[in-house]
Structure 1
Amino acid sequence: MKDKLLFFLRKIYRLTDKIAFYPTLLAVLGLVFTYVLIYLEENGISKYLLDTFPSLVINNTETARSLLTTFVGGLISIMVFSFSMVMILLNQASSNFSPRLLPGLISNRRHQIILGLYIASILYCTFILVYIEPNGDKYQLPGFAVLFAIIFMVVCLGAFIYFIHSISQGIQINNIMDKIFNISKQRMLYLIENEKYNEGDFPNSSNWDEYESKQSGYLQNVSVKNIANIAKDNKVKIDVAVVKGLFISEKNTLFKSEKELEDEVIDSITEHFDFSKSEFVDDNYVLAFKQITEVAVKAMSPGINDPGTALNAIDYLSQLFAIRIQKKDKSFIYIDDVAYVSMATVNFKTLIFQVMAELRTYCKHDVVIVEKLLIMLFHLKKIVGKENVNYRNIIDEEIANLILDAEDVITNERDLSYIKSIA
């Protein structure tokens, strides 16, 4: 029962990433509030306020109808204008930076909440407008409800001003990369803080029973703690064979088990693998490396030709790699000091190769970019220290490959001498 509840809560949490979630939620709340106000009007709240605080109540039918009609038309215009700007932002981000940035921009909760405020206010004003009786006297007019419509309009105007500010900041690539960096940094620091690894605590799983995936998509999240509880209950160890964030096809090996499992247990474990058609940095820090690398590569394309953005991107990559060095290449999930689950991750060698391979391919002709990349690699080598020979060898290999590629395309002897002097 507990596993089913957690599974349901995870699905609800995934809904919050959809662009329509918060607008729909606020629209429903707006409808509920509308009927609460109508109920209060039916019980004479406007009559009471008109007798007690007449300045708070609009007691003219034509004025009320004109205000509400104007509010509805104005709010629809503001909403159309606001989210036309969102489409422009998404189009520019896709063209100038990277299409991979779009899921993160679309899931901006502040913009979703502003859209929800607009929709809730439009629905509220529309239903209150319908409720007004054309031939009613001042005591039948929902003056108190109209007062709230004015308040909602003021709030929406404030939200519109904030939206203009937010969209003007969000379209700047430095702010986009900074957001990606901070989310990825927090995710990696959380993983490092909760990481527990001892190589001898988990047996070799090469000959274990394999279980395939029944669906395809990006592996967005794995509830490893719940899988560990299942493994403990069944006195078995589980090796999660797929890396979170990668695209998984049907029939790919999803996990391995120390012994053969019953169908019910297999289904229970499979439920804790969440698949998606899009990717988010919040769930997978590796995506931050991909996104920032693609920004740098796109900036160096002939159509964009923006080496300054590429240099900034390399600075962010340098900071991310400096944090990633602290993380182990594999992690175990423990219960009572017993490792029940092994979780596969993108190892450091693969990660730095994927980043450097793209940058070397598209940026090796630019002396300044090559210099920046060498500074990044030597900085990482210094952080690693002499104790971690494996990581040092990986970084040395990338330095050698970068210099080799630069020598093939840079013909100026002075530039080559300068690059070699850094190395």
Structure 2
Amino acid sequence: MKLKLLAQNTLKSIGILYLKTVKSIAFIPAIVAMVFLLLSLFTVQFDYSDTGKAIKAGAHWLTLKDASTARSIISTITGGIISLTVFSFSMVMILLNQAASQMSNRILEKLIGNRFQQIVLGFYIGTIVFALFLLSTIRDIDSGVYVPAISTYLLIAFTVVDIFLFIYFLHYVTQSVKYETIIHKIFTDTQKSMERKCVLQNFSPSSCEQGSSLSLNAQNSGIYQGFMEKPMRSLCKREDLLIRMEWPVGKLVIKDTPLLTILNKETIPKDLQKEIMGMVNIHGGQDIDVNYYYGFRQLMEVAVKALSPGINDPGTAILSLQALGHLLKYRSENHPEEEIYDEEKRLRIIMKIRSVEEIFTECVYPIWDYGKQDRLVNMEFHHIMLQLCAQTNIPAFERMLDTVNRSPMHQGV
């Protein structure tokens, strides 16, 4: 049992480390740089091979007989690409700082994790690695065949590509930090996450009766990130357990707070308790892919920040509000699974799910609190609520519409 717990905790730690590594800004650049290093080894080996020497002997324009000239070319390219890299990402950090100060620092992960930016950085670093390795292989021999001319010309081609990448990179970065682009990115990620998780058209809350039960407390503080579904379901089937999670994904759980309840047992062995808690993920940070509610929160924070007196940008708040309207419409018609059954169709796990009204209350009312004195925000609230009420039967939407209609700012329209 101890070995099983150790293996389980190790796998969970490896999974968390893997996600952090893959989402790191240095992950793709490191891979690209390694590819360039392997490419430099291959091209230099080819340069010094009989085939490479024959190619250089037959094509005089590929021959660099002067080792100092080759060194000068490579050194110049190396210094230029280093300067290009520093300039490019100094500009990125300035734009990120501006976006974080005017929107929300929670969106930084979206901007830093941009794959195109990481690929460009990797290509820059890869070119530098290629050039440095190439510089170390040049030999002073009169025949010229030991100057890696083919590799040097390939490096020049990489440099030309770097220059064009830099030109496009300037355009891409200025577009990617625009408020509408960031809001659309959050909206798209949240929509995709809901499409994966909200698969039920009809929903009825779980009504399992509770008899004898046992509560298990959180072993550490952090954000509840869900649990390992397949291992937990197998364990519940093996031990004949019915588990109810007490918190929705994304909630802060403080140590020793009741985290889950075993509904059909009053006592279980300590080792089994540890095994169950080892399958629950509690750690810092949140991800829209795991918890679509985090996307709602980000849009709310962007809108609230835009409506703050220091920013005073109702246009950005309206963009966030429109995105929230689309997402609330989809969520009101599609519901996540609340119950998990085993292969024999026996109920094993009951999850805590945020209702549409809870999401609306937590993510839309704060925007109203900040923006109800703004005429533009008032009009947009009325426009969105009117459509939501016409297409859904959510009481919270109707209450919000009634609140907007009674607003002095709206009555003056």
Question: Contact between 2:197 and 2:337, CA under 8 Å: does it hold in 1?
Answer: no
Distance of aligned partners of 1:131 and 1:3 in 2 relative to their CA distance in 1, 3 Å threshold: same
**Partners of 2:235 and 2:59 in 1: CA distance:** 63
Distance of aligned partners of 1:353 and 1:402 in 2 relative to their CA distance in 1, 3 Å threshold: farther
Q: Residues 234-271 of structure 1, C-alpha deviation per residue, up to 9 Å, x if partnerless?
A: 32222222221223332233322243444444444444
**Partners of 1:141 and 1:32 in 2: CA distance:** 19
Pick aligned residue for 1:315 from 308, 319, 322: 322
Matched pairs, number: 404
**3-state SS in 2 of match to 1:219:** strand
Question: Contact between 1:90 and 1:105, CA under 8 Å: does it hold in 2?
Answer: yes
**Partners of 1:237 and 1:55 in 2: CA distance:** 76
**1:288 Cα deviation (Å)?**
1.7
**Partners of 1:101 and 1:10 in 2: CA distance:** 20
Equivalent in the alignment of 2:131: 125
**1:368 Cα deviation (Å)?**
2.8
Equivalent in the alignment of 1:162: 168
**1:172 Cα deviation (Å)?**
0.8
Question: Contact between 1:196 and 1:332, CA under 8 Å: does it hold in 2?
Answer: no
**3-state SS in 2 of match to 1:131:** coil
Equivalent in the alignment of 2:179: 173
Pick aligned residue for 1:394 from 393, 396, 406: 396
- Which 10-residue stretch deviates more, 52-61 or 359-368? 52-61
- Which 10-residue stretch deviates more, 146-155 or 184-193? 146-155
Question: Contact between 2:9 and 2:278, CA under 8 Å: does it hold in 1?
Answer: no
Equivalent in the alignment of 1:388: none
For residues 192-207 of structure 1, the aligned pairs below 5 Å read 192-193=198-199, 199=205, 203-204=208-209
**Residue identity opposite 1:214 in structure 2:** Q
Pick aligned residue for 1:282 from 269, 282, 289: 289
- Residues 1:369 and 2:377 are matched in the alignment: yes
**Partners of 1:167 and 1:206 in 2: CA distance:** 58
Question: Contact between 1:18 and 1:107, CA under 8 Å: does it hold in 2?
Answer: yes
Q: What RMSD over aligned residues (CA atoms) do the two structures have, in Å?
A: 2.8
Pick aligned residue for 2:361 from 353, 363, 376: 353
- Residues 1:252 and 2:257 are matched in the alignment: yes
- Which 10-residue stretch deviates more, 267-276 or 314-323? 267-276
**Residue identity opposite 1:367 in structure 2:** R
- Residues 1:73 and 2:82 are matched in the alignment: no
Equivalent in the alignment of 2:153: 147
**1:42 Cα deviation (Å)?**
4.9
Question: Contact between 1:46 and 1:143, CA under 8 Å: does it hold in 2?
Answer: no
Runs of 5+ unmatched residues, structure 1: 386-390, 419-423
Instruction: State the TM-score, normalized to the length of structure 2.
Output: 0.87
Equivalent in the alignment of 1:34: 40
Pick aligned residue for 2:238 from 233, 237, 243: 233
**1:77 Cα deviation (Å)?**
0.7
Q: Residues 71-104 of structure 1, C-alpha deviation per residue, up to 9 Å, x if partnerless?
A: 1111111111111111112111112112221121
**Residue identity opposite 1:48 in structure 2:** A
Equivalent in the alignment of 2:27: 21
Instruction: State the TM-score, normalized to the length of structure 1.
Output: 0.85
Equivalent in the alignment of 1:343: 351
Distance of aligned partners of 1:352 and 1:194 in 2 relative to their CA distance in 1, 3 Å threshold: closer
- Residues 1:216 and 2:216 are matched in the alignment: no
Question: Contact between 1:220 and 1:244, CA under 8 Å: does it hold in 2?
Answer: yes
- Which 10-residue stretch deviates more, 30-39 or 365-374? 30-39
Runs of 5+ unmatched residues, structure 2: none
Distance of aligned partners of 1:295 and 1:256 in 2 relative to their CA distance in 1, 3 Å threshold: same
**Residue identity opposite 1:357 in structure 2:** Y
**Partners of 1:273 and 1:51 in 2: CA distance:** 66
**Partners of 1:261 and 1:143 in 2: CA distance:** 72
**Residue identity opposite 1:372 in structure 2:** E
Distance of aligned partners of 1:147 and 1:255 in 2 relative to their CA distance in 1, 3 Å threshold: farther
**Residue identity opposite 1:374 in structure 2:** H
For residues 376-415 of structure 1, the aligned pairs below 5 Å read 376-385=384-393, 391=394, 393-403=395-405, 406-407=407-408, 410=409, 415=410
**Residue identity opposite 1:79 in structure 2:** T
- Which 10-residue stretch deviates more, 210-219 or 374-383? 210-219
- Which 10-residue stretch deviates more, 84-93 or 45-54? 45-54
Q: Residues 267-295 of structure 1, C-alpha deviation per residue, up to 9 Å, x if partnerless?
A: 44444444443333222211222222222
Pick aligned residue for 1:100 from 101, 106, 113: 106
Question: Contact between 1:322 and 1:380, CA under 8 Å: does it hold in 2?
Answer: yes
Distance of aligned partners of 1:218 and 1:158 in 2 relative to their CA distance in 1, 3 Å threshold: farther
**3-state SS in 2 of match to 1:211:** strand
Distance of aligned partners of 1:246 and 1:137 in 2 relative to their CA distance in 1, 3 Å threshold: farther
**Residue identity opposite 1:121 in structure 2:** T
**3-state SS in 2 of match to 1:22:** helix
**Partners of 2:282 and 2:140 in 1: CA distance:** 54
**Residue identity opposite 2:100 in structure 1:** S
